Amino acid sequence: MVFFKIINHGNGLKRLFIGGVHGKEGITTIKALKSISEEDVQEGSLVIYNCDESKYISTLNPLYYESETGLEVLDLIGHYKPDMYIELHCYKSENFQTLTDINRKKKLGVPPLIELEKGVLIGSVSPLIRTKIFDKDNICITLEIPCSPSDESLEVYKDFLKVLAGAKSRSDLEKKAAMIYPDQVETSQKYAWEIFGDYPPF
Ligand SMILES: [Zn+2]
């Protein structure tokens, strides 16, 4: 399910959205990525890439970044050097509790994902790349949706992707996201602080 598209509207934020980074997740994420249109990006650029099916290795596992798809992801980041990096995943509904578990940080070393609504979850990307490859000021977000999602979940997911595609800067994004999801933005800022100290959210 490889899909590749570049929207280039000149100077501004450089964005990279990658879906289906492991397992069969790309079958779900491609539906959302294909819905992003030229009009969603007013300025700057957006590179959209959906990966082919691959073996499932967690992005928290260092071996992932030695796998074929993991190396592909690193290549894309290295080539496009995005200011905004969005990773699209899907999860099996039975994993909802584990992903949003308040004690996830104690158990796995990463904060829990936060539900926006309709099972759509937001969090940071793997610490293996967040702190090593990206700058402090970059925006790095993981967006999770149930695999084989309901129409409602898919709508929430697509709408939030469009907010991301249209945001002109970190502050613009924080302002727009906080208007729709004030509690979730506040919680994500709290988690980011716990992980990164004075790191910005996401
Ligand atoms: Zn995933």
Determine contact, residues 98/60, Cβ cutoff 8 Å: no
What is the distance in A from the centroid of ligand 1 to the CA of 172?
A: 27
What is the distance in A from the centroid of ligand 1 to the CA of 105?
A: 17
Instruction: Give the pLDDT score at 122.
Output: 97
What is the distance in A from the centroid of ligand 1 to the CA of 196?
A: 22
Distance in angstroms (rounded) separating the CA atoms of residues 185 and 175: 10
Answer yes or no: CATH 3.90.1570 is held by domain 3-196. no
Instruction: Give the pLDDT score at 137.
Output: 87
pLDDT digits (tens, 9 = 90+) for 5-53: 999 999 999 999 999 999 999 999 999 999 999 999 999 999 999 999 9
Distance in angstroms (rounded) separating the CA atoms of residues 50 and 4: 7
pLDDT over 60 at 202, yes or no: no
pLDDT digits (tens, 9 = 90+) for 110-168: 899 999 999 999 999 999 999 889 998 899 999 999 999 999 999 999 999 999 999 99
Q: Phi and psi at residue 67, in whole multiples of 5°?
A: -80, 165
pLDDT digits (tens, 9 = 90+) for 90-104: 999 999 999 999 999
Instruction: Give the pLDDT score at 200.
Output: 55
What is the distance in A from the centroid of ligand 1 to the CA of 10?
A: 31
Work out the burial of residue 176: count CB atoms within 10 Å of its CB; fewer than 13 is exposed, 13-18 middle, 19 or more buried.
Answer: middle
User: 109 pLDDT band (50/70/90 cuts)?
Assistant: confident
Instruction: Give the pLDDT score at 164.
Output: 98
What is the distance in A from the centroid of ligand 1 to the CA of 22?
A: 6
- Average pLDDT for residues 55-70, to the nearest whole number? 97
Distance in angstroms (rounded) separating the CA atoms of residues 80 and 15: 8
